[in-house]
Amino acid sequence: AQKITQTQPGMFVQEKEAVTLDCTYDTSDPSYGLFWYKQPSSGEMIFLIYQGSYDQQNATEGRYSLNFQKARKSANLVISASQLGDSAMYFCAMRGLTTGGFKTIFGAGTRLFVKA
Amino acid sequence: DGGITQSPKYLFRKEGQNVTLSCEQNLNHDAMYWYRQDPGQGLRLIYYSQIVNDFQKGDIAEGYSVSREKKESFPLTVTSAQKNPTAFYLCASRKGTGNSDTQYFGPGTRLTVL
């Protein structure tokens, strides 16, 4: 069965510091994609970063990077130089062949609080 | 600008009433999705559609119905059979079916049953 686990319900970080949000996954698919989304208090889900299971390098998008450790089945999000606007819920998600390529499963999320 | 619109932003319903949530996209995406989010929870898939005139049940389809008569539109009806409909509803679309194809979301509709 496909599963995404985010073990940190809430995280605090000081402004300008880096923070890592944990995500582990379980799948038997040989090919899958991993995603991170940000959900501010307004509710909209904002796509942040994507990592393919066969990608050799860790994905990066500006201040966001994905620490992909395939053998450990982890896909942690690293936010560098945190800003007050980073305070939000963050969701890890996965899509793979088992889900027919059409369904994405989401973790329960981690709420990040950035302190001034 | 291309994007996904959902209306209304807030919706109040009396028990026993059906309500329809609108979702429109001008991204020319083939696939569209409806998710439900409860407070402090992740997203759960209600229905999805890969092409016009075709849709499949997700994990929590009971009490909901959809239609896909146009590529741009994927309305969701919350029927009186849905026992606990108060939640935040998110619509999404995706261009293709590859693992790397990103889902883009609308701003959401917050439904409250009075």
Chain B residues with CB within 8 Å of chain A CB? 31, 33, 40-43, 45, 48, 50, 56, 58, 88, 90, 92, 97-100, 102-108, 110
The residue to which tokens 């999320």 are assigned: A109
Kindly list the residues from chain B whose CB atom is less than 8 angstroms away from the CB atom of residue A95. Answer: 99
pLDDT in tens, B14-73: 888 999 999 999 999 999 999 999 988 889 999 999 999 999 999 999 999 999 999 999
The C-alpha R_g of chain B, in whole angstroms, comes to 13
pLDDT tens by residue, A14-58: 999 999 999 999 998 888 999 999 999 999 999 999 999 999 899
Nearest to A107 by CA among A12, A23, A46: A23
Contact between B92 and B108 under an 8 Å Cβ cutoff? The reply is no
Looking at residue B114, its pLDDT comes to 85
Name which of A42, A45, A102 is nearest B50 (Cβ-Cβ): A102
Which of chain A's residues have a Cβ under 8 Å away from the Cβ of B50?
Answer: 102
Residue B76 C-alpha, separation from nearest chain A C-alpha, in angstroms: 18
- Chain A residues whose CB is inside 8 A of the B103 CB are 35, 47, 104
For residues B100 and B108, give the distance between their C-alpha atoms in angstroms, rounded to a whole number: 23
